[in-house]
């Protein structure tokens, strides 16, 4: 039966427009949406300011000298080559320590672990992710102090401190990646009579390879700019030192801090170098992050 | 024409247009797209008031997509487009000046999977639409609307003692009736239902079907269902949608009184579908 | 060979536990002398508790300030990415916010003292003028910008990506059918967010906020560089005299210290570790409870 209200409906003004939103709900919606968008813009401002300012202030400090000479015996001049080398060595040794332990521990958690040890490990890895970086430095100091006496400063101490920070990151990301490798791949290998260790090294790890590499690169990016743990372990030094087991060593972050803190007579030059070091650090971190993503996309194995 | 409504309800209408009689929906040349892919092609049909219209057809033939274009939900999918005209009681709901939110106020929807808001109580769930839409509703007014809606959904007796319990604590059939209560609490003119019983057990299904039969005296109802027996049981008008081949858009094959469609349909396609030869 | 490999994996797991036990043991060993020493031998001369209390105060104040600023911003930014911005660029926007987390803290420190601090000076003056009756804006406003307010702001920027990432995860997973249910009732976008997305993400946001808080508690370099420290215990955010934080105190004094002073610093490090541990455990407990629902 056709509605006899049809005629009535056409005589009235548009009900769709009339029954719509009252202005209050409409304006609340607009205001809140604007606030939300505004918050995002606000959150982006520091990022742009940071990148802009570091570039603006850091470029004047860059020079061939900056990259090739160290700061020994120089007033107002000199460069950061020792800091760059220090960054490479300290971070490199830290990776050497963290990556094998971290990946093996992730293998344990994902492939072997059962019962109490597994639960304890998961719990403590969680604890480790929360260690403040300066506390990690204090631990490394305490450890070496017991064996070598107070006042000891060594490059490798810094690496130990950084490992404490790096290991949980490597474990977490490696665990994620290993979990993604589907069980049916492992079972296919077992069904062929492959022993477990071979299954892991020849099937699981290669499948997860890109993800593992990415995880390590991201972990390195996190610790390459660390300052606090190194202040208490590797100290401050002006000259190039390539032996992590002998004497102080400095990385770029500590270098930047030191140039700021003790600028000496030629303040502006020192500040310039601090900014230049900051710029170099940001560049390294960005390159690592981007490279990590590219590596992942290029080398990941598609799992159907 | 308007259903015999209890006088108590009439005296506590929300502060908007009073007394909503069921309305006619007319679709004319409706084409629906997801980006470049056309999902529904050239549908023209009239949906009569105070009747249950069933949309049937095999999966993927566009019946749900078409349903969602009737309350402007289709356009919420990124990239989705609507071409053509859909009028509610003579007014084009897709006209530029019309706020989609206003359309959804007048055209309610019940979904396949019951979706009561889990963080709200049963009472608050039913009142949710009311709280949004009415300017200022006193507690007494809200109480009356909640009771009216729950009674209308045949759920009042089962939940009247636990209105403050969370919406998710009910059984599947009860949750769906809760969603129906929530939808009718705002007094829509049309009720759209997307396979409302497909997630329910047979007993709950029957309860909802009975409810639909009663609700049609107050609303225009459109039900999408892939269950032909349900369409035959519960609807007055049936519209059959079909696809020529996968990847092609769905289209309306024929529409007519339910009894006719199921006993002597006009198209061979329809006959094939309702007699179970495909789909 | 199979057994050897399995042993190696287990050994790695055990090594880590040993390392952690070692951390605890060595820190306690080195820190204990400060706890048992006579008050006069310790820096400050008033005993360990009096030494660490103002530092703990400063630590919590700075971190709390950072959280109060960062959490609403992070939640709103997360909502923007998941529900307001066009879906095609949402991923890129997420990367951008996550970039904030990649910047080393020393860079934040330099930025804070050379860029944000000076820029904040006029703002702090205005705060002192108009809102000076509120204790936190008591003033007199610092002219260098090396205040708790600026330190808190920088910390807020540093923890924003953490809170935002957790919130984004949660908001993106709000069930579609609930959101559609609200939309079908005629809700506006904000009403739908308020009714379905925010309640769903609430406990994730809380745990994300606590993770961010934990990070801010342990942050060293930004605070070390920015704050002009006087050891005062005060809520005044814009003044010259500021409390220090445990971490900054260690960074500033460790290189020059020796003997019992070092033990004292290590003991404060233990206190900091305890504080962050409790915060992080609380955050994980909340996540665990959410997952069980």
Tell me the per-residue pLDDT of A237-260, one tens digit each, with 9 for 90 and over: 777 777 778 778 888 898 899 888
Tell me which residue of A280, A270, A285 sits closest to A84, measured CA to CA. A280
* Inter-residue contact B82 to B75 (CB < 8 Å): yes
Check residues A273 and C42 and name the one with the higher pLDDT.
Answer: A273
CA separation for the pair B41, A157 (Å, rounded):
72
- pTM given for the model: 0.83
* Inter-residue contact C228 to C144 (CB < 8 Å): yes
- Which tokens go with A130? 């929360």
Looking at beta carbons, which residues of chain A come within 8 Å of B16?
Answer: 19
In 3-state terms chain B splits into helix, strand, coil percentages (rounded to 5) of 35, 25, 40
Question: Residues C44, C49, C51, CA angle at the centre, nearest 5°?
Answer: 25
| Closest-CA distance of chain A to residue C58, Å | 16
- Interface mutation vs chain A, best among B91, B107, B220, most A CBs within 10 Å: B91
pLDDT band at B123; cut points 50, 70, 90? very high
pLDDT band at C292; cut points 50, 70, 90? low
| Closest-CA distance of chain A to residue C276, Å | 7
Average per-residue pLDDT for chain B: 86
Question: Which residues 76-95 in chain C show a CB within 8 A of chain B?
Answer: 86-87
CA separation for the pair B258, B53 (Å, rounded):
9
- Which tokens go with B101? 């939110």
CA separation for the pair A74, A119 (Å, rounded):
54
Tell me which residue of A219, A234, A229 sits closest to A98, measured CA to CA. A219
Tell me the average pLDDT across C98-125.
91
Between C177, C187, C200, which is nearest B115 by CB? C177
CA separation for the pair C60, C152 (Å, rounded):
11
CA separation for the pair C194, C171 (Å, rounded):
11
CA separation for the pair B250, B181 (Å, rounded):
32
| Closest-CA distance of chain A to residue B85, Å | 15
Q: What's residue B43's pLDDT?
A: 94
Average per-residue pLDDT for chain A: 84
Looking at beta carbons, which residues of chain C come within 8 Å of A145?
Answer: 30
* Inter-residue contact C210 to C279 (CB < 8 Å): yes
A94: number of Cβ within 10 Å: 26
Share of chain B above pLDDT 70, in %: 91
Strand runs (DSSP E) across C208-252, as ranges? none
C2, pLDDT greater than 90? no
pLDDT band at C262; cut points 50, 70, 90? confident
Tell me the average pLDDT across A16-25.
70
A231, pLDDT greater than 80? yes
| Closest-CA distance of chain A to residue C114, Å | 9
Q: What's residue C291's pLDDT?
A: 63
Tell me the average pLDDT across B221-231.
91
Q: What's residue A18's pLDDT?
A: 61
Average per-residue pLDDT for chain C: 88
pLDDT band at A93; cut points 50, 70, 90? very high
Q: What's residue C43's pLDDT?
A: 74
Q: Which region among A255-259, B15-19, B243-247, C180-184 has the lowest average model confidence (pLDDT)?
A: B15-19
B172, pLDDT greater than 60? yes
Q: What's residue C47's pLDDT?
A: 78
- Sheet holding B80-88: strands in order across? B91-92, B80-88, B25-34, B37-47, B250-257, B237-243, B52-56, B220-224, B190-194, B107-110
Looking at beta carbons, which residues of chain C come within 8 Å of A285?
Answer: 102-104
Q: Which chains would you list as touching B if contact means 3+ CB atom pairs under 8 Å?
A: A, C
The per-residue DSSP string of B190-237 comes to EEEEESTTTTS-HHHHHHHHHHHHHHTTTSEEEEE-S-HHHHHHH-SE
Question: Residues C107, C163, A127, CA angle at the centre, nearest 5°?
Answer: 85
Looking at beta carbons, which residues of chain A come within 8 Å of B49?
Answer: 1-3
Q: What's residue A5's pLDDT?
A: 35
Q: Which region among B10-19, B265-274, C124-133 has the lowest average model confidence (pLDDT)?
A: B10-19
Check CB contact under 8 Å for A19 and B99. no
CA separation for the pair A181, A183 (Å, rounded):
7
Tell me the average pLDDT across A255-280.
87
Check residues C4 and C246 and name the one with the higher pLDDT.
Answer: C246
H/E element holding B42? strand B37-47
| Closest-CA distance of chain B to residue C184, Å | 6
The per-residue DSSP string of B108-154 comes to EEE-SS----TTSBHHHHHHHHHHHHSS---HHHHHHHHHHHHHHTT
Is residue A99 classed exposed, middle or buried when 0-12, 13-18 and 19+ CB atoms within 10 A define those classes?
buried
Between C110, C157, C259, which is nearest A278 by CB? C110
Q: Which chains would you list as touching A if contact means 3+ CB atom pairs under 8 Å?
A: B, C
pLDDT band at A2; cut points 50, 70, 90? very low
| Closest-CA distance of chain B to residue A48, Å | 30
CA separation for the pair C182, A227 (Å, rounded):
50
For residue range C202-219, what is the model confidence (pLDDT) as tens digits? 988 998 999 899 999 999
A10, pLDDT greater than 70? no
Check CB contact under 8 Å for A164 and C214. no
Question: Which residues 33-52 in chain B show a CB within 8 A of chain A?
Answer: 48-50
Check CB contact under 8 Å for A32 and C190. yes
Check CB contact under 8 Å for A9 and B23. yes
Q: Which region among B31-35, B169-173, C194-198 has the lowest average model confidence (pLDDT)?
A: B169-173
CA separation for the pair B144, B135 (Å, rounded):
16
For residue range A165-175, what is the model confidence (pLDDT) as tens digits? 999 999 999 99
Share of chain A above pLDDT 70, in %: 90
Is residue A41 classed exposed, middle or buried when 0-12, 13-18 and 19+ CB atoms within 10 A define those classes?
exposed
CA separation for the pair B276, C268 (Å, rounded):
79
Check residues C69 and A155 and name the one with the higher pLDDT.
Answer: C69
Check CB contact under 8 Å for A112 and C10. yes
């Amino acid at each position: 039966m056709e509605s006899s209200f049809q005629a009535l409906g056409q005589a009235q003004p548009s009900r769709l427009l009339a029954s719509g939103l009252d202005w209050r709900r409409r304006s609340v919606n607009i205001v809140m949406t604007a606030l939300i968008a505004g918050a995002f813009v606000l959150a982006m401002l520091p990022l742009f300011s940071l990148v802009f300012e570091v570039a603006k202030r850091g470029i004047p400090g860059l020079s061939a000298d900056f990259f090739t000479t160290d700061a020994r015996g120089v007033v107002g001049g000199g460069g950061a080559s020792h800091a760059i080398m220090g960054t490479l060595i300290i971070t490199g040794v830290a990776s050497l320590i963290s990556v094998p332990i971290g990946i093996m521990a992730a293998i344990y958690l994902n492939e072997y672990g059962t019962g109490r040890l597994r639960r304890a490990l998961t719990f403590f890895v969680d604890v480790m992710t929360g260690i403040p970086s300066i506390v990690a430095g204090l631990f490394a100091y305490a450890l070496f102090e017991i064996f070598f006496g107070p006042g000891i400063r060594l490059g490798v101490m810094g690496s130990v401190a950084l490992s404490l920070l790096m290991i949980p990151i490597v474990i977490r990301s490696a665990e994620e990646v290993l979990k993604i490798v589907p069980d049916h791949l492992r079972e296919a290998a077992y069904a062929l009579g492959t022993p477990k260790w071979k299954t892991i090294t020849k099937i699981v790890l290669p499948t997860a390879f890109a993800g593992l590499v990415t995880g390590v690169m991201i972990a390195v990016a996190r610790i390459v700019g660390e300052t606090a743990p190194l202040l208490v372990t590797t100290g401050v030094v002006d000259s190039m030192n390539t032996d992590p087991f002998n004497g102080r060593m400095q990385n770029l972050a500590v270098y930047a801090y030191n140039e700021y803190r003790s600028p000496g007579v030629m303040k502006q030059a020192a500040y310039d170098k601090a900014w230049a070091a900051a710029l170099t650090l940001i560049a390294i971190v960005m390159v690592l992050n981007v490279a990590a993503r590219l590596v992942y996309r290029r080398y990941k194995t598609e799992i159907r | 024409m308007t259903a015999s409504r209890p006088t108590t309800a009439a005296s506590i209408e929300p502060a908007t247009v009073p007394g909503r009689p069921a309305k006619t929906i007319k679709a004319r040349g409706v084409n629906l797209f997801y980006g470049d892919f056309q999902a529904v092609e050239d549908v023209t049909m009239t949906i009569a008031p105070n009747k249950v219209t069933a949309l049937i057809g095999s999966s993927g033939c566009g019946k749900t997509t078409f349903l969602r274009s009737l309350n402007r939900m289709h356009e919420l999918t990124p990239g989705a487009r609507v071409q053509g005209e859909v009028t509610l009681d003579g007014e084009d709901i897709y006209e530029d000046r019309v706020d989609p939110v206003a359309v959804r106020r007048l055209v309610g929807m019940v979904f396949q999977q019951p979706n009561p808001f889990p963080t709200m109580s049963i009472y608050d769930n039913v009142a949710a639409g009311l709280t949004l839409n009415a300017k200022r509703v006193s507690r007494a007014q809200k109480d009356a609307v909640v009771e009216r809606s729950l009674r209308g959904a045949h759920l009042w007796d089962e939940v009247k003692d636990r209105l403050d319990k969370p919406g998710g604590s009910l059984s599947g059939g009860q949750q769906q009736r809760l969603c129906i209560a929530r939808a009718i609490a705002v007094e829509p003119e049309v009720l759209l239902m997307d396979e409302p019983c497909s997630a329910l057990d047979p007993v709950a299904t029957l309860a909802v079907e009975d409810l639909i039969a009663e609700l049609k005296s107050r609303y225009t109802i459109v039900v999408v269902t892939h269950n032909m027996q349900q369409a035959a049981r519960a609807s007055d008008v049936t519209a059959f949608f079909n696809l020529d081949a996968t990847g092609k858009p769905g289209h309306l094959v024929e529409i007519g009184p339910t009894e006719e469609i199921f006993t002597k349909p006009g198209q061979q396609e329809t006959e094939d579908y309702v007699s179970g030869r495909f789909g | 060979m199979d057994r050897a490999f399995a042993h190696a994996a287990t050994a790695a797991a055990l090594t880590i536990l040993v390392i952690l036990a070692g951390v605890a043991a060595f820190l306690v060993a080195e820190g204990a002398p400060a706890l048992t020493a006579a008050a006069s031998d310790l820096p400050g001369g008033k005993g360990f508790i009096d030494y660490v209390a103002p530092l703990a105060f400063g630590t919590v104040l700075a971190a709390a300030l950072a959280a109060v600023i960062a959490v609403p911003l992070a939640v709103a930014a997360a909502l923007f990415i998941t529900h307001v911005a066009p879906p095609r660029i949402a991923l890129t926007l997420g990367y951008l916010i996550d970039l904030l987390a990649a910047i080393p803290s020393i860079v934040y420190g330099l930025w804070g003292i050379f860029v944000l601090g000076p820029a904040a000076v006029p703002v702090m003056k205005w705060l002192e003028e108009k809102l000076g009756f509120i204790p936190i804006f008591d003033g007199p406003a610092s002219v260098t910008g090396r205040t708790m307010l600026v330190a808190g702001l920088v910390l807020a920027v540093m923890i924003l990506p953490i809170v935002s990432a957790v919130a984004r995860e949660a908001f993106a997973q709000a069930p579609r059918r609930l959101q559609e249910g609200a939309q079908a009732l005629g809700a506006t976008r904000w009403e739908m967010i308020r009714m379905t997305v925010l309640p769903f993400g609430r406990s994730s946001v809380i745990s994300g906020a606590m993770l961010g808080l934990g990070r801010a508690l342990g942050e060293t370099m930004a605070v070390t560089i920015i704050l002009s420290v006087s050891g005062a215990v005060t809520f005044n955010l814009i003044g010259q005299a500021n409390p220090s934080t445990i971490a900054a105190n260690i960074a500033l004094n460790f290189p020059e210290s020796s003997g019992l002073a070092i033990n004292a610093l290590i003991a404060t490090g233990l206190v900091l570790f305890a504080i962050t541990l409790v915060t992080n455990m609380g955050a994980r407990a909340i996540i665990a409870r959410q997952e069980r629902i």
